[in-house]
Amino acid sequence: MRILVTGGAGFIGSHISESLANKGYEVIIYDNFSTGCEENIANIKSLNNVHIVNGDILDYDLLLKCMKNVDIVSHQAAQLEIGSAINDPLLDAKTNIEGTLNVLEAARKVGVKKIIYASSAGVYGEAIKIPQDEEHPKRPQWPYGVSKYAGELYCQQYSIFYGMKICALRYGIVYGEREWYGRVLTEFIKRVILENKPPVIFGDGNQRRDYVYVKDVVEFHNIMIEEEWDGFEVFNIGGGGSITIKELANLIIDIANKDMEPIFEDVPEGGYSNITGRWRIPKELKVLELDISKAMKKGWRPKVNLKEGIKREID
Ligand SMILES: NC(=O)c1ccc[n+]([C@@H]2O[C@H](COP(=O)([O-])OP(=O)(O)OC[C@H]3O[C@@H](n4cnc5c(N)ncnc54)[C@H](O)[C@@H]3O)[C@@H](O)[C@H]2O)c1
């Protein structure tokens, strides 16, 4: 079976590609290497069943060419910087909406059997019901959530019109080996482990977040590679609970075995930290916690707890 992974050289896509390649599938990694890199796929890039294409999802003709004889497409490529999306929503929409439409249209033309679309918990916006199940209202706080949700809706359309089997996986905050630097967990790790400085928390640190280990995400993805289903399906993929940012900071201090206390800094939303220079996202969510019972009905559960997963990320 041939599987094309868009964004296959990125953080999540490289773990997906690695797992599929090790299972013996023919894997085509289709990536423009904008945020992904060769190091992410170093373990698999010389395997006979792995093919690497330096291509853009905005290049429809190349996508079409690369999708010939492909059975499954895993669409992971995206623009996912929330700040970039706020500053340049058109660019965000171009990659996440137009790019997704190119993937869907090329897949339809060549008769791809299944598509797995990387969606995001960002489609929900502020939680009005905790945990948030798949039926939770979709009121994205940022353009990124809008573009990811638009991608989902197009997936649904293609499924309705053309009978294609498509599923959308709404990931919580995915972490683990090869996570890209910039988000709060990576910032805390950098401060505590590399700089021997206390983590800096924005506000009171009571914001709740749902972390899911990257290889647990891959396990669910593998289920959907092997599973058959009809039409369009959507699943939340989270860690099965949430942690406050304050708890997260203390967990990293504990893992690092350091004698320090987090610093609380009252940075306004959309402002910058005086200590780290880090930007605080506007319209920050109070709670992100996914109900994963639908995914668990497929026999999946997150196996790696946050402490173990963070240790692996630090290593
Ligand atoms: N990391 C998370 O916590 C998280 C949470 C929710 C959803 N997601 C979704 O998961 C997917 C993967 O995210 P990630 O964290 O691995 O990010 P990433 O930036 O590491 O991976 C994205 C990959 O897509 C590639 N890419 C970007 N634009 C492209 C384009 N126009 N054409 C071809 N390739 C392109 C990049 O080079 C990169 O390799 C994305 O769709 C993202 O929206 C991620």
pLDDT digit string, tens, across residues 91-122: 999 999 999 999 999 999 999 999 999 999 99
Q: Can you give the pTM of this predicted structure? A: 0.98
Residue 253's CB: how many other CB atoms inside 10 A?
19
Q: Do residues 210 and 286 lie in contact, with contact meaning Cβ atoms separated by under 8 Å? A: no
- Residue nearest atom 18 of ligand 1, based on CA coordinates: 10
pLDDT digit string, tens, across residues 8-37: 999 999 999 999 999 999 999 999 999 999
Active site (annotated) includes residue 144? yes
Across all residues in the chain, what is the average pLDDT?
97
Q: Do residues 131 and 185 lie in contact, with contact meaning Cβ atoms separated by under 8 Å? A: no
Determine the distance separating the centroid of ligand 1 and the alpha carbon of 79, expressed in angstroms: 6
pLDDT digit string, tens, across residues 203-226: 999 999 999 999 999 999 999 999
Provide the pLDDT for residue 22.
98
Ligand 1 atom having least distance to the Cα of 183: 3
Q: Is the Cβ atom of 131 under 6 angstroms away from ligand 1?
A: no
- Residue nearest atom 1 of ligand 1, based on CA coordinates: 174
- Which residues sit opposite 31 in a β-bridge? 54
Provide the pLDDT for residue 290.
98
Strands 173-175 and 211-213 turn out to be parallel
Q: Is the Cβ atom of 99 under 6 angstroms away from ligand 1?
A: yes
The active-site residue out of 30, 144, 149, 154 is 144
Domains in the chain, CATH or no CATH each: 2-174+211-237 (3.40.50.720), 176-209+241-314 (3.90.25.10)
Q: Is the Cβ atom of 62 under 6 angstroms away from ligand 1?
A: no
Two structure tokens written together for 64: 């079409």
